[in-house]
Amino acid sequence: MQANTSITKKPGSSVNDAFASHFAKSMFLTIAGLLILTFIGTRMFTHVDLNLYGYMVGTIVFIGGFFYRFIAWGERPPTKLFIKKGLKLLFRKSTPKTAVNHLAIYDFIRNRGVYRWVQHILIGWGCVLAFLVTFPLVFSWMYFTMEDNGYYTIVLFGMNIMNVKADGIIAWLSYNALNIAAIMVTAGVCMALYRRLKNMQARAEQKFMYDFLPLYLLLFISITGLLLTFQNVVLHGWMQPQMSLIHQFSVIVTLIYLPFGKLAHIPFRPLSVFARNYREHYSEQHMKECKVCGDQFVSVEQSNDVIQVLDVNEIDFNMNDGFNLAELCLPCRRKYRIAKFSGFATHQVKVKEANQNANG
């Protein structure tokens, strides 16, 4: 008699077994991490600003929405393959340069026009600056204390980092960092709205809920934030509590909306580095030649991955001519599909379309 040597996994032996889903595990670990960091940053919860409680709740809801959207997207076969290979290529020598181009200076947008590049720089870096200032304050990771000597002490995660003069340049920048961010976002949003209203192509493609609403939300947050400073400095606090609630409500609504609208590309943007590394790495190895015209159009790896993903999704693009539709370049693919409807073998015509490389 043969002995049964198979090993049965004991239930509950993995951390994953404690959670109903990847979403539940991600949320639990994230909230636990935020709680630990807040415990450290507030010196065991002895310095908590309850005025920022609403922002904290909005941020946690945003994190939940982001995980829900990201996990739903990441579980798709093409995304899972893309992320897996992207992580392996993360430490390429070109990664720092790619990250700077895609995440810092938006070089790929500058190629489309200086106006759109400036617009994205203002909105992108304005939002990043606002996040870098707001989140540490909301979770009390950073705060300021002041002695009687006219100096502020900057406290970061419970540690005194440095002392700055109350009327010095560092203190002024600290006071006005959110105002600077609001001015940048306001200018960038106004540029975007002007372009969407004047550019005929943009007007034909845009929708109010998807294209305009995110801009209006960012504009409303920026203006109400600037009004808080104006009321405090010029109007000596008149109607400031009411405006503070309006501003807080607008921020919370935007945070809840962010993972499910057009603004979701902001937290997803770092993955563009994966895509760039993927294309560059496999393009350097071996390029795929079109089965019809012979032109090299993608890497062999990418072509094989597309065919593999199509097979996983039970989508059959294997043609009777002995090739897969994914093995044709875009112009030949279009002509081949036309041939199927017209009965004329247009894919065998060697002349390319005049606008095959058109921009826009």
Alpha-carbon distance of 216 to 209, in angstroms, equals 10
334 in the same domain as 233: no
Q: What is the pLDDT of residue 13?
A: 58
Q: Please, which pLDDT band fits residue 46 given cuts at 50, 70 and 90?
A: confident
HSE of 360, CA atoms in CB hemisphere, 13 A: 7
Asked which of 211, 245, 261 is the last residue of a domain, the reply is 261
* 140-173 residue pLDDT tens: 888 888 877 778 888 888 788 888 888 888 888 8
For residues 329 and 242, membership in a common domain is answered with no
Which pLDDT belongs to residue 350? 58
pTM: 0.79
| Residue 183 in tokens | 């001015």
The segment with the largest mean pLDDT, out of 8-22, 198-212, 275-289, is 275-289
Residue ranges of the alpha helices (H) in the chain? 22-41, 53-74, 77-88, 95-103, 107-110, 114-138, 169-198, 200-205, 213-233, 240-257, 265-268, 272-283, 300-312, 330-342
d(CA 262, CA 2): 60
Q: How far apart are CA 190 and CA 215, in angstroms?
A: 9
- Whether 353 is in a domain gets the answer no
Q: With a cut of 80, say whether residue 6 has pLDDT above it.
A: no
Quickly state the pLDDT bin for 219 (edges 50, 70, 90).
very high
Highest mean pLDDT among 63-77, 167-181, 211-225, 333-347: 211-225
Are 179 and 296 members of one domain?
no
Q: Tell me, yes or no, whether 231 and 299 share the same domain.
A: no
Residue 280 covered by a domain: no
Phi, psi dihedral angles at 104 (to 5 degrees): -115, -55
Q: Are residues 78 and 142 in the same domain?
A: yes
Angle at 197 between CA 195 and CA 198, to 5 degrees: 65
Q: Is 316 helix (H, G, I), strand (E, B) or coil?
A: coil
User: Is 349 strand, coil or helix?
Assistant: coil
Q: What are residue 229's phi and psi, to 5 degrees?
A: -65, -40
Residue 179, classed as helix, strand or coil, is helix
The span from the CA of 32 to the CA of 54, in Å, is 19
pLDDT value of residue 351: 56
- Residue 339 burial (C-beta neighbours within 10 Å; 0-12, 13-18, 19+): middle
Within a domain: residue 276? no
Residue 93: helix, strand or coil by DSSP? coil
pLDDT in tens, 270-302: 888 888 888 888 888 888 888 888 888 888 888
Q: Are residues 138 and 252 in the same domain?
A: yes
* 329: containing domain: 285-348
Would you say residue 303 has pLDDT above 50? yes
Question: Highest-confidence range of 41-45, 92-96, 341-345, 353-357, by mean pLDDT?
Answer: 92-96
Type of residue at 100 = V
Same domain flag for 44 and 186: yes
Residues 171 and 207 in one domain: yes
Predicted confidence band at 90 (pLDDT cuts at 50, 70, 90)?
Answer: confident
* Domain final residue, candidates 200, 228, 261: 261
The verdict on residue 11 lying in a domain is: no
Do 231 and 323 lie in one domain? The reply is no
| Domain-embedded: residue 360 | no
246 within some domain: yes
Mean pLDDT of 320-335: 82
| Pair 202, 331 in one domain | no
Q: Quote the number of domains for the chain.
A: 2
* φ/ψ of residue 324, rounded to 5: -90, 145
Name the most confidently modeled range: 71-75, 159-163, 189-193, 286-290: 189-193
Polymer length in residues for the chain: 360
Using the predicted structure, report yes or no on whether residue 2 has a pLDDT greater than 60: no
HSE (CB half, 13 Å, CA atoms) of 348?
6
CB 291 within 8 A of CB 311: no
Identify whether residues 308 and 197 lie together within a single domain.
Answer: no
In a domain, 6, yes or no: no
Q: Is the pLDDT of residue 11 over 60?
A: no
Burial 266-275 (b: 16+ CB within 10 A, else e): bbeeebbbbe
Token pair, residue 97, equals 């340069």
pLDDT bracket for residue 222 (50, 70, 90): very high
Look at residue 242 and tell me whether its pLDDT is greater than 50. Answer: yes
Judge whether 357 lies within some domain.
Answer: no
339 or 52: which carries more pLDDT confidence? 52
User: 242 and 313 in one domain?
Assistant: no
